[in-house]
Amino acid sequence: MATCPHCGAYLETNHRCRGLWRLRARVWGIVALGGLIGAGAVAAASLVLYDAVSTLALGIGAVLGSLVTRTYLRGEP
C-alpha cells in the first residue's frame, strides 16, 4: 500500500494529510529518545567501570545514540 509523501500515513480513500511537520516531529522525537538511551547506556557503563560519570562521555553517548537511531530510521547500512 502506498504512503503519503507529506505525513507518512497510508493512502486510503478517507486519507486526510496531517502535514509534514508531524512526521518530522515524530522522527526527531525518536532520534532524541535514541540520544537519551545512548547517554543512559554510557552513564551505566561508566558507573560500573569507573564509579564516576563525565559530562563529556554523556555528550558523546547522546550523539552516538542519536546518530545510530537516525541511521536506523533512514534504513542505511
**What distance lies between CA 41 and its chain's CA centroid?**
15
Query: Cell digits for 14?
Result: 478517507
- Best CA proximity match to 54, nearest among 39, 67, 68, 69: 39
Per-residue pLDDT at 76: 63
Q: What is the residue extent of each domain of the chain? A: 20-74
**Residue 31 near residue 47 (C-beta atoms within 8 A):** no
Give tens-digit pLDDT for 23-68: 789 899 999 999 999 999 999 999 999 999 999 999 999 999 999 9
Residue 2 half-sphere exposure toward CB, CA atoms < 13 A: 7
Any bridge partners for residue 34, and if so which?
none
What does pTM read for this prediction? 0.74
